[in-house]
Amino acid sequence: MQVNTWQRAPVEVQQRVLSYVSVANLGRIGHTSHYHYALMKRQVRGRVTSTLANWKLPPETLDFMREHNIVLSGSAVLAIVEPGSVEPNDLDMYVPRGGMGEVEEFLLTNSEYVKTGEGGGGVGLEEEEYTSFPFETGMKSVAFFRHRTANSIVNIIETDGTVATTAVFKFHTTFVMNYVTWNAIVCAYPKMTSDHVGLVNTHLLDIPSRMVRCLIKYAMRGFTPLERVYDWKKEDHDCGEVGYCGRSNRYVGDKYTLRMAFNDGFAIVPDVINERVSWRLNSRYLCAAKRIYRPQRGFVATVAHAEMN
């Protein structure tokens, strides 16, 4: 389709077409012109607000998230990043350590959510994953809320750190290392996620059963877990030097992370909560054609790698 024909199409038609496009590709489209940049922002904002509306959350939710440095993550955000890839049954809201009470009060006061003792059992993490192995998951506690009439589920996850996004980089695979803030969407491995592949985040030779269950769920929805970046492109590279390598040190503000503000206006700075959050994945095998088991533990920290040396 020629550009002038595309631009003459009704905005509703343009947005309908863009609704099938991954966030990674929306970012590329947005760089082609100011017009497409505005279209891209409108599309992403629409996905976020629709997600909040689908879970019957009040309009004040984004403002509340801004005030308390709260992010959305999990399968619901993966559905924003990759439309049509998953159908989540619940929405995960990550809050900094000590913030659980404020979120509970917000939901009970401003919505029809009530606290319940069980989660939704959707595409996201298993329920025991929330409260078990806090060092590995970055999660301290969880509270489940069910809507009185819609029956939708919101999981409030209190992280064990003061920066809620640190838990995101401890997830089981890279294709769920995405989150939404009050004004932005962040995707740590956009190219891989767009290809529906992701690196497994463990150094253990035998993958824990709780992680296996999660991998199976996503595999059933078309996402392929990989052990090495070599398995993605079948190309040699210097381990630890490429952003998509499981042995590379990364941080939220680096060139490999997709950070996209979705509120109106140009040159809007995306609020990523803390761009100094850094991480390295756990990995089991060297990224070479020959499969060599050489485990390496990863880390998640709240200072960029450049400042750690």
Helix or strand run (H / E) with residue 107:
helix 100-110
Mean pLDDT of 170-175: 94
Q: What are phi and psi of 211, to 5 degrees?
A: -75, -35
* pLDDT tens-place string over residues 145-165: 999 999 999 999 999 999 999
CB atoms within 10 A of CB 262: 24
**Each residue of 289-307: b (16+ CB within 10 Å) or e?**
eeeeeeebebebbeebbee
pLDDT exceeds cutoff 60 at 2: no
Cβ neighbours for 73, distance < 8 A, ≥ 6 positions apart: 92, 94, 167, 168, 176, 178, 179, 180
Residue range 127-154: mean pLDDT, rounded:
76
pLDDT at 124 over 60: no
- Please check the confidence at residue 45 and state whether its pLDDT lies above 50: yes
Over residues 81-88, the mean pLDDT reads: 93
User: What residues are paired with 296 via a beta bridge?
Assistant: 283
Contact 91, 186 (CB under 8 A): no
Give the residue-averaged pLDDT of 118-122.
53
d(C-alpha 47, C-alpha 135), whole Å: 32
Sign of the dihedral through C-alpha 271, 273, 277, 279? negative
**Residue 73 falls in which region: left (phi positive, over 0), alpha (psi -120 to 50) or beta:** beta
Which pLDDT value is given to residue 289? 79
Q: How far is CA 186 from the centre of its chain?
A: 7
Q: What are phi and psi of 79, to 5 degrees?
A: -65, -30
Phi–psi pair at 249, nearest 5 degrees: -80, 130
Burial of residue 12, with CB atoms counted within 10 A of its CB: 0-12 exposed, 13-18 middle, 19 or more buried: exposed
Pairing of strands 250-251, 293-296: unpaired
The pTM score is: 0.91
Over residues 164-185, the mean pLDDT reads 96
pLDDT digits (tens, 9 = 90+) for 6-20: 778 888 888 889 899
DSSP 292: -
